[in-house]
């Protein structure tokens, strides 16, 4: 009788441990899936930005320093994206968003550029991608939060430590991106 009780207790414990492990695997892959969704949109935007820069370059008087900031930020985003360095990506994204904001604001002073069909299409496409990235970032950060909580809760933490699960970083943007935009300086 004692051996049956011990066998039942061992079986229940083993089944519980397996279900905890499977839950950790599931939430780990949810984070990877959420990152892949962001990565697709970042790649699409990365491919669209050179087209936007080229359209702006057609207007010789267009502010070159603004274009150079966008190009430099695009390179930083690409490097961080390829290395999956979430902290660097957050900083680079902030710079790129600020550069795009400046570019679109400066474009207001160029009526011919604003009326250019290619510019309008690219602006709409990039704005749509930006909105998609923001939505996917929210999903990614929620997935990371669920994962991080999951690997810290007892008794799942025992299994997480045994299989070397490490906390993940959320995708946060710089404080400058969260600050209010000084619209006056953009048109000054």
Containing structural domain, residue 111 = 2-186
| Three-state SS at 182 | coil
Q: What is the pLDDT of residues 125-140, one digit of tens each?
A: 999 999 999 999 999 9
pLDDT of residue 67: 86
Residues of the chain predicted below pLDDT 50: 177-188
The residue whose two tokens read 């991608």 is: 129
State how far the Cα of 51 lies from the Cα of 66, in Å rounded to an integer: 15
Q: Which two tokens stand for residue 115?
A: 């009326």
pLDDT of residue 181: 44
pLDDT of residue 115: 84
pLDDT of residue 77: 92
Q: How many domains does the chain have?
A: 1
182: CB partners within 8 A, 6+ apart: none
48: CB partners within 8 A, 6+ apart: 122, 125, 126, 129
- CATH number for the domain harbouring residue 23: 1.20.1440.20
Contact 46, 78 (CB under 8 A): yes
pLDDT of residue 180: 46
DSSP-based helix, strand, coil % in the chain, nearest 5: 80, 0, 20
Q: What is the DSSP letter of 59?
A: S
């Amino acid at each position: 009788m004692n051996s049956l009780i011990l066998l039942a207790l061992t079986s229940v414990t083993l089944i519980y441990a397996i279900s905890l492990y499977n839950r950790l695997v599931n939430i780990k892959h949810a984070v990877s899936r959420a990152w892949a969704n962001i990565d697709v949109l970042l790649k699409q935007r990365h491919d669209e930005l050179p087209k936007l820069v080229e359209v702006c370059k057609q207007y010789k008087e267009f502010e070159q320093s603004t274009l150079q900031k966008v190009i430099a930020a695009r390179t930083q985003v690409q490097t961080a994206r390829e290395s999956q360095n979430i902290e660097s990506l957050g900083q680079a994204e902030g710079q790129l968003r600020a550069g795009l904001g400046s570019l679109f604001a400066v474009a207001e002073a160029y009526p011919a550029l604003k009326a250019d069909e290619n510019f309008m299409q690219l602006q709409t496409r990039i704005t749509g991608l930006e909105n998609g990235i923001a939505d996917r970032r929210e999903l990614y950060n929620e997935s990371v939060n669920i994962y991080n909580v999951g690997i810290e809760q007892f008794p799942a933490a025992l299994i997480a430590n045994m299989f070397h699960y490490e906390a993940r970083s959320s995708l946060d943007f710089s404080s400058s991106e969260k600050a209010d935009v000084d619209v006056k300086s953009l048109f000054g």
